[in-house]
Structure 1
Amino acid sequence: MTGLADKYTSIEEAIARIPDGATIMVGGFGSPGTPFALLEELLAQGQKDLTLIKNDANEAGIGIGRLIEAGRVSRLIASHIGLNRIAIEQMNTGRMEVDIHPQGLLAEKIRCASAGHYGFLTDIGLETEIASQRQEVECDGRTWAIEPALYADFALVHAEHADRYGNLVYRAAAINFNPLVAMAAKHTIAQSYRVDEPGSLEPEAVHTPCAFISALVQVPVESSEQGWKKHVA
């Protein structure tokens, strides 16, 4: 196992790598799998004019909802924002640009980026508002829309267990978007409740290999959704 880098660092140092204007993918489906501690540090450090890519906008007052409320997000790419009234208000007043993609298309756009593809062909949403900005091609007598892949400068993910090299294991529903976004960004920062020495994880249990991780921080269990709700109450 020689030659592998120790990715373990402080949360302050990891988030300080993110500049103003960055495009950031965030793991999670609602609250499960959302890297609350990393987002809270991003809020504390003050980076602004961010483009966020996440399945949803979280609820107001937690997760990326805190960044949106603080006016730090200029653009949000998501599949729905209906649980966050502040995100809806900012979209309607033009303070934040919002791009909505059906959830399956959003996931596939991210997956294509993780595989190094330009994009994919689909017939989903043809002749609807969904396809209004897409380029179309004819192939085998059918019309297809081109959906470009979604790439990011940084990804923020949450894991249950990790080793210091950055091999990650997710728990239960947290395995949702995290493996996809971890592979679709130039730099991925992971938080984990538990960080052990290399060799502690069974290889077949690893969901995201360390090759995709740039930095790893350990966070307390209190940084979960309920912990942050208490923190900001």
Structure 2
Amino acid sequence: MTDALEELETLVPQLPSALERRSLGESLSRVALQLGEITAAAQRLSDIFEIARMIGFGSVPEEVEKMDDLIGDANHLASLLVTADDASVLQEIERHIPPFKTTISNAVTAIKLRWRSQVTAEYRPFQSLGQLLSKIDQASTLGARMIKLNEEAAATLSVMQVDQFKAAIVKLIEKRAQLETEKTSFTADEQVDNFLTGLAQGQAKLRSVSPDVFRWLSEHDALDLFEVRPIA
């Protein structure tokens, strides 16, 4: 009994450090379980920055604020991970992971909202332009591929995974650039090219039908595809 008491008296001073080591171990275990989430979040972060660059996200104050929040939270979490050396820091990492994921989700939502407006402004016109070119030159596949581009752009709006969303945007941008090049070759005239682009966007005016545009439409038997109406 005396030996047990003596041993207990010896161990009592060590209890705080033992408990601290236990707390550290438990916190470390919990953080280790979340490392997969942290790694996934880091990859999403990389994809988000790449998407933002591709679509020009961050050009207005509201978008800048979203990106600043994202960068701030990411830097804070990275700092915690680098300097983690006790239970309190590990616990702070645990607390920071959920709001960091929320910040990422908020940024993705804002980016998709911006992308939706770009699809409407920059890709939907390919639908009407493709239909027009298909009527002008039925032997060409250019018009059909323009129509398909618009459909593919619309489909990206329902893509949920960030990495898949990024990959879809990359393909769209490449396809659009290729189709724009083919359109320029097909029209072989800057005025005609501008006229067709304006027409697809609903912005063509009668003054844009220059002699060169009129001649090109006539040569392609396309004059009867158009009607002149006054603006209401």
Output the TM-score relative to the length of structure 2. Answer: 0.23
Task: Give the helix-richer structure, 1 or 2.
Answer: 2
Output the TM-score relative to the length of structure 1. Answer: 0.23
Say which one has the larger Rg. 2
Task: Give the strand-richer structure, 1 or 2.
Answer: 1
